[in-house]
Amino acid sequence: MANVLETKNINKYFRKPVEFHVLKDINFRVKQGEFASIMGKSGCGKSTLLYILSTMDTDYEGELFLNDKLITGKPHEELCQIRNQHIGFVFQFHYLLTEFSVLENVMLPARKLGRKSSVEIEHDAREKLKTLNIGHLAEKRASRISGGEKQRVAIARALINDPEILMGDEPTGNLDSYNAENVFQIFKGLKEERGLSLLVVTHDPDFAKRTDRIIEMEDGRILS
Amino acid sequence: MTNWKVIFSIAKTHLITKLKSTITASLGVTFGIGAYITLVSFMTGLNKMLDDLVLNQTPHIHLYNEIKPSEFQPVSRFEEFENALNVVHSIKPKQSQEKIHNALPLMHYLNADERVRGASPQLRAQIFYLSGSIELGGSLLGVDIMEEARLYNMRDYIVDGSAEALRNTDNGILLGAGLAEKMSLGTGDRVQISTVEGTVTPLKIVGIYQSGIAEIDNVRSFANLKTVQRIQGEAENYITDINVKLYNLEDAVPMAAQLEKQFPVEATDIQEANAQFETGSSIRNIITYAVSITLLIVAGFGIYNILTMLIYEKMNDIAILKATGFSGKDVQYIFMSQALIIGFAGGLLGLIIGFILSRLIDRVPFETEALPTITTFPVNYNIGYYFIGIIFAFISTFIAGYLPARKAKKIDPVRIIRGN
């Protein structure tokens, strides 16, 4: 099966306050339709790795491929475009734009992409919300809904441009077990129904165990 | 690729949810622009009034025959003394008439010139006003009153009576306001005048003339050209001054030089006569712009502060926008467009407030002896200043918004997201 994401010899250093080798020779790939999780202790570099993979962090050595195309070294504008179109991102803290309605939050990346008319985008956004069982929240202000709901809205927003891969930085870390289970089921459903690739950084062993593959990290290296 | 629709909708949402700061920032611009419009309208209105006061009364070119010594004494024309040092003591003015030579053909020539709006003849006579046994020294100007009214707004300065009354009355006189007061005379009365030679003539007062300049009003009166020629016992071609008004003020200097060469007359142009006048106008303009720019700089700092605060508050939003694919430039544009919207809204309101204040000033009574035609403060409603005002608003908010917006552009989303 095709590789969605691939890294070759990625190394990263923190230069402040002292030089520190965070990531050492990271080589791995995520296949299409694979649900992978990254586990490891705090400070082992798993979040750092995720931000490099998400193209937001460009200060590293080595090569990063998305859909077998080299991403490393592309200009800032192009990386934004790639991030907008091909990568969905879910954070631990839900990070919605609190002044906008739920619907506007979900629509925003698609409006940035500008491939569809606003009517189509609104229709798509409502569909996404409905499939996540939060269609009734569409008109509410993003600051007025609960944590679990916020995370589902964030997932809907990550999916609006139909990305190839969804990345999560401890997406369940801030949720109670009921909502965490809910999010896991959503992820699983996305993988099974749409063949979406998922890469999730997590602390939760129960969550990781149920994914297709666990990538374990320690001291900046991948163990397995 | 920039999607302006999205950027504007985000900017709009930010502005609306922070309505208080938005209004505060806009009001800063409003005061700056409002003050600029008010000041500039009032100042230029005042300038224009003062310009009119002097320039309307002043001919663009003044032609006359000056009594002065010859530039070349006969001895310097004598070839045998060519290389000698000639000293002539007690030089006297050349014997000559006061009138302009060939004045009537010269008038015809000037009135045919296409640059000339009109050339009007004058005869200046030194006379005495007789009031009982008192003799008041003064001057009587023989003029073509209808030409004076057409070219130099003479009507504005006739406070009683009319220009037509003088034209229709052969032995009429427009008496200076100061003289009328001194001699306790009014329209309809008679005044005796005496020439330097001692001929006494009674004239009928058909109106009162008030220029607003006391020194003039105390000595000067107007009569018909023919009347003064008759009093002086001179012929109909006896004219001492020709005043020329041009269509274009800039032509005055070259034309005066040309006339001096072409005809045996002295020609003074308006620039020569009123050089100091321009200085006053330009200093008033400098003050207006200095005050307005200061106000706008203050408003600019207000906008700078508010946007900087907004960007600190919106750190998370900026990070999330960048994470979902908005580029640094998009984020910069979001904040820039907020600044410009504030500038536009504030500026527009400023123009309206400036206009209202100008209207108010326009209504304030302003009556002064010196300006008989003015009843309220003068205000200049030039549309150009409103354009400059709104452009000012845009420029100042652009500069004030640029720095904070660039800061927002440079925010690293990873640091914000990890920092939480």
pLDDT digits (tens, 9 = 90+) for B118-148: 899 999 999 999 888 888 899 999 999 888 8
pLDDT at B371: 66
Contact yes or no for A153/A88 (Cβ under 8 A): no
pLDDT at B2: 64
To the nearest whole Å, the CA of B302 is away from the closest chain A CA by 23
To the nearest whole Å, the CA of B33 is away from the closest chain A CA by 31
Contact yes or no for A39/A203 (Cβ under 8 A): yes
Average of per-residue pLDDT across A199-211: 82
Query: How is residue B214 written in tokens?
Result: 């006391």
pLDDT at B223: 93
Q: Which residue in chain A is spatially nearest to B5 when comparing CA positions?
A: A111
To the nearest whole Å, the CA of A159 is away from the closest chain B CA by 11
Enumerate the residues of chain B whose CB falls inside 8 A of the CB of residue A54.
323
pLDDT at B121: 92
pLDDT at B420: 53
Judged by a CB distance cut-off of 8 A, whether residue B13 touches chain A is yes
User: By 3-state DSSP, what share of chain B in percent is helix, strand and coil, each rounded to 5?
Assistant: 60, 20, 25
CA gap A214, B375 in Å, rounded: 91
Query: Helix, strand or coil for residue A206?
Result: helix
pLDDT at B207: 92
Picking from A57, A108, A114, the nearest residue to B324 by CB comes out as: A108
To the nearest whole Å, the CA of A81 is away from the closest chain B CA by 6
Interchain CB distance below 8 Å, A95 and B5: no
Enumerate the residues of chain B whose CB falls inside 8 A of the CB of residue A95.
316, 319-320, 323, 417
Q: Average pLDDT of chain A? A: 80
**ipTM score assigned to the predicted complex:** 0.84
Contact yes or no for B328/B409 (Cβ under 8 A): yes
Interchain CB distance below 8 Å, A83 and B324: yes
Interchain CB distance below 8 Å, B324 and A157: yes
pLDDT digits (tens, 9 = 90+) for A70-125: 878 778 888 888 888 888 888 877 678 878 888 888 888 888 777 778 888 888 88
Optimal mutation site among A12, A58, A74, A80, interface B, most CBs of chain B within 10 A: A80
Interchain CB distance below 8 Å, A85 and B323: no
Using a 10 angstrom Cβ sphere, with 0-12 exposed, 13-18 middle and 19 or more buried, the burial of residue B279 is exposed
Q: Element (H or E) spanning B136, and its range?
A: strand B134-143
In order of start, what are the domains of chain A with their CATH numbers?
A: 34-44+78-222 (3.40.50.300)
pLDDT at B325: 80
Optimal mutation site among B12, B19, B324, B409, interface A, most CBs of chain A within 10 A: B324
- CA-based angle A111:A114:A117, to the nearest 5? 85
Strand partners, B134: B131
Find the distance separating the first CA and the last CA of chain B, reported in whole Å. 31
pLDDT digits (tens, 9 = 90+) for B351-382: 999 999 999 988 888 877 666 667 788 888 88
Query: Helix, strand or coil for residue B339?
Result: helix
Q: Average pLDDT of chain B? A: 84
Q: Element (H or E) spanning A198, and its range?
A: strand A197-201
Number of helical (H) and strand (E) elements in chain A, helices listed first: 7, 10
pLDDT (tens, 9 = 90+) of chain B, 420 residues, equals 567 788 888 888 888 888 888 888 888 888 888 888 888 888 888 887 877 777 777 788 888 888 878 777 888 888 888 888 888 888 888 777 778 888 888 889 988 988 888 899 999 999 999 888 888 899 999 999 888 888 888 888 888 888 888 889 888 999 999 999 988 988 889 999 998 888 899 999 999 988 877 888 899 999 999 999 999 888 888 999 999 988 887 788 888 889 889 888 888 887 765 666 677 777 877 887 888 788 778 777 877 887 788 788 888 888 888 888 888 888 888 888 888 888 888 889 999 999 999 999 888 888 776 666 677 888 888 888 889 888 888 888 888 888 888 888 888 877 777 765
CA gap B228, B174 in Å, rounded: 13
pLDDT at B173: 93
Q: Quote the strand ranges of B211-324, DSSP E.
A: 220-224, 241-246, 266-269
